[in-house]
Amino acid sequence: MIKKNLRTHILLFLFTFLTLTFKGDLFIGIFQFEWRQMLEIFRIEWSYSLSLITILLCHEMGHYLPARYYGVKATLPYFIPFPLGPIGTMGAVIQIKEPIPDKIKLFDIGVGGPVMSLVLSVPSWLLGLSLSELVPITVSSDQHEFLIFGDSLFTYWTSQWIFGAHDPNLFMIESHPLARAGWVGLIITAINLLPFGQLDGGHIIYSMFGEKYRKWIYYLFLSFLILSFFNFTWLVWGFLIYFFIKIEHPFVPDHSFQRLGKKRIFLGSFMLISFIFIFVPAPLSIGSELDAPNLLEYFFGW
């Protein structure tokens, strides 16, 4: 049984590496045997897939290792391949197989993942950005098919720092694969830091504020839903959180005699503040959507 489960983890890992590298072109190699084209794609994309799968692996091990340290049963990471779309994966997950005994252990298990992915995604983004090119958008260029990776405060400021002051409406960044891996790692970290339910941010904020957070967490969720007026992505996430992930965290008892302490409070606060800087209000869009009205404009004409 253990060997069978290990085989599943390894196969999902390998298949996810392939979908990260080839994405939808994976089917070309399988069914049309365009091996030269596949080798060229691999030459270009291997740094993206290797970097991102490392970020995902370290994120999940940031949960898995503290869980095993505290004697909490947990599975190895399950990677989720997704050969459609521009990213190539839907992330990775581990499964906690038993209740977490107290809030200190909950905090350590919850915070480890986003700390690891943040620490790895930032240098991947910065190094990749330094290898990218800033090119002008010409009047004749057709932007309707452009895939646009949205900016967070962090990615906007760092791109302005590395390339110098420029107008994103007049220039576009031709991203190096390392930069794309860093961008995806940052947005995965940000989504996991949403402060709801069983997401990492939910673990962190519940551990820090305890049961009293239930008095205001629904107001925070309503504030989050305001984002859906500007980008439909967050309406989908609001649906997933409300019906599946849940808004409130399940009850976990306090530690019998120990508090979180200043170091954990500082680390939790740092991660929640970092969420503000790496959160992307409009993650992905295509050029044809730029002039389309958002929900606020559609319903209210604003």
**Residue spans per domain, the chain:** 2-300
pTM: 0.91
pLDDT per residue as tens digits for the range 197-235 = 999 999 999 999 999 999 999 999 999 999 988 888 899
pLDDT band at residue 296, thresholds of 50, 70 and 90?
very low
Asked if residue 289 has pLDDT above 60, the reply is no
Q: Which of 76, 80, 74, 57 lies closest to 109 in space, CA to CA?
A: 74
Give the Cα separation of 218 and 202 in Å (integer): 12
pLDDT per residue as tens digits for the range 228-258 = 888 888 999 999 999 999 999 999 998 767 7
pLDDT band at residue 144, thresholds of 50, 70 and 90?
low
Asked if residue 28 has pLDDT above 50, the reply is yes
Q: To 5 degrees, how large is the angle CA 281–CA 24–CA 90?
A: 45
Q: Give the three-state DSSP class for 136.
A: strand
Whole-number pLDDT of residue 16: 96
Whole-number pLDDT of residue 218: 96
**CA neighbours closer than 13 Å in the CB half-sphere of residue 222:** 4
Asked if residue 4 has pLDDT above 80, the reply is no
Asked if residue 77 has pLDDT above 60, the reply is yes
Higher pLDDT, 234 or 286: 234
What are the Cα distances from residue 240, in Å, to 48, 225, 271, 276? 28, 12, 23, 21
Whole-number pLDDT of residue 295: 45
Mean pLDDT across 144-160:
86
- For the ranges 31-45, 120-134, 193-207, 286-300, the lowest mean pLDDT is seen at 286-300
pLDDT band at residue 14, thresholds of 50, 70 and 90?
very high
Asked if residue 29 has pLDDT above 90, the reply is no
Give the Cα separation of 104 and 53 in Å (integer): 29
Give the Cα separation of 178 and 184 in Å (integer): 10
What are the Cα distances from residue 139, in Å, to 171, 194, 229? 11, 39, 30
Whole-number pLDDT of residue 284: 75
Q: To 5 degrees, how large is the angle CA 243–CA 66–CA 178?
A: 75
In the chain, what percentage of residues exceed pLDDT 70?
88
* Residues 6 or more apart whose Cβ sits within 8 Å of residue 71: none
* Residues 6 or more apart whose Cβ sits within 8 Å of residue 41: 21, 22, 25
- For the ranges 28-37, 113-122, 160-169, the lowest mean pLDDT is seen at 28-37
Give the Cα separation of 233 and 106 in Å (integer): 29
In the chain, what percentage of residues exceed pLDDT 90?
71
Strands 89-93 and 78-81 turn out to be: antiparallel
Give the Cα separation of 271 and 201 in Å (integer): 8
Give the Cα separation of 253 and 211 in Å (integer): 10
Average pLDDT, the chain: 89
